Amino acid sequence: MPTQPGRTTHPAALRRLHLKVVRQLDGILHGEHLGLHTGPGSDLAEARPYQPGDDDIRHMDWAVTARTTTPHVRDLIADRELHTWALIDLTPSMDFGTAHTTKRELALTTLTAFAHLTSRLGNRFGAHVLHHRHLTRHPAAGNRQSLLVLLNRIATTPPPPAPTGTPPTELPTAINALTRAHHRRGLRIVISDFLDSTPHPDPTTPRAWERPLRQLATRHQTIAVEILDPRELDLPDIGTLTLHDPETGQTRDIHLTARLRRRYAAAAHAQRAATHTALRRCGVPHLQLRTDRDPLTDIARFVIEQRRTATRLHRHTPTPPRPTP
Lowest mean pLDDT, pick from 4-13, 117-126, 273-282: 4-13
Query: Which structural domains are found in the chain, ordered by start?
Result: 11-29+81-312 (3.40.50.410), 38-79 (no CATH)
What is the chain's Cα-based Rg? 23
Q: How confident is the model at residue 64 (pLDDT cuts 50, 70, 90)?
A: confident
Name every residue whose Cβ is closer than 8 Å to that of residue 109 and which is 6 or more positions away in sequence. Answer: 17, 21, 101, 295, 296
Whether the per-residue pLDDT at 44 is higher than 90: the answer is no
Q: Identify the residue with better confidence: 206 or 22.
A: 206
Q: What confidence score (pLDDT) does residue 285 get? A: 93
Give the integer Cα–Cα distance in Å for 247 and 171: 13
Q: What confidence score (pLDDT) does residue 296 get? A: 87
What does residue 86 show for φ and ψ, rounded to 5 degrees? -115, 145
Residue 220 CB burial class (10 angstroms; 0-12, 13-18, ≥19)? buried
pLDDT tens across 73-108, in order? Answer: 876 654 456 789 999 999 988 988 888 889 999 999
Q: Identify the residue with better confidence: 198 or 298.
A: 298
Give the integer Cα–Cα distance in Å for 166 and 292: 35
Is residue 286 within 8 A of residue 224, CB to CB? The reply is yes
